[in-house]
Amino acid sequence: MSNSLKGRVAVVTGAARGIGQAIVRGLAAQGASIVGIDLLNCDDTAAIAAQHGADFISQIADLTDENAVGAAMDKVVEHFGRCDILINCAGILPRMEWDELDLASWNRLITVNATSQFITCKAAIPIMRKNSYGRIINFTAAIVQTPATGFISYMASKMAVIGLTRGLATEMGAHGITVNAVSPSFVTTPGQVEVGNDSIQPFVTQQQAIKRDQVPDDIVGLITFLASDAASFITAQTIHADGGLTYH
């Protein structure tokens, strides 16, 4: 089977920059049409997609708002008539020690990193089921397998994503929809730099078997494979692209 995505329509959350933007580039190179959903403007990502001749549109939406996500998915159907691939890339990674962690901060992490992926899946799956075809790729993180301090709520949110992935894969297998999760190491992105998390990178890199910083492009090949027909019998899995940070 081919890894080509020609004729497929993909929705990528967090598409404005960082990992999401790199994924759009990879999907475009494989021939997909793409919808980028983000709170930020996706003009730079649109220019990248255009370089590959891809049909790209963007939607500004709060992924924690069920109505906003539903409206964005309506636009996907209006423009392309279908949704074949959903990649849940958007997320946040604030660092907060236990004594600083309050309920509001906890709820924000769970909502942005886990509940948002549930919301997008709920919006996309009815469209996929009409064609008995779908590829859903969620993002968890290798940190859930490592002893790191200051990330309790983040770890909880990313473990929730694994549970969502496994349960949803079981429910959707009969409908031709696969559901998998991707687990990267620490990837320095503009968002990480803004909150000062880039200082963590050297420590994490030294723990990896591959001792170089992970960059967004390191994940793209895995994403395009899982989104393709070549991955039709892979579902309910958490696949680690973390440079050997964790063993499984």
Which residues are known to be catalytic? Answer: 154
Report which secondary-structure segment, H or E, holds 38: strand 33-38
CA–CA gap between residue 99 and residue 120 (Å, rounded): 32
Q: Quick one: residue 14, left, alpha or beta (phi over 0 = left, psi -120 to 50 = alpha)?
A: left
**Contact assessment for residue 175 and residue 128, using Cβ atoms and an 8 Å cutoff:** yes
CA–CA gap between residue 75 and residue 147 (Å, rounded): 42
Cα-based distances in Å from 190 to 14, 196, 198: 12, 10, 9
Measured in residues, the chain has a length of 248
Report which secondary-structure segment, H or E, holds 241: strand 238-241
CA–CA gap between residue 245 and residue 50 (Å, rounded): 35
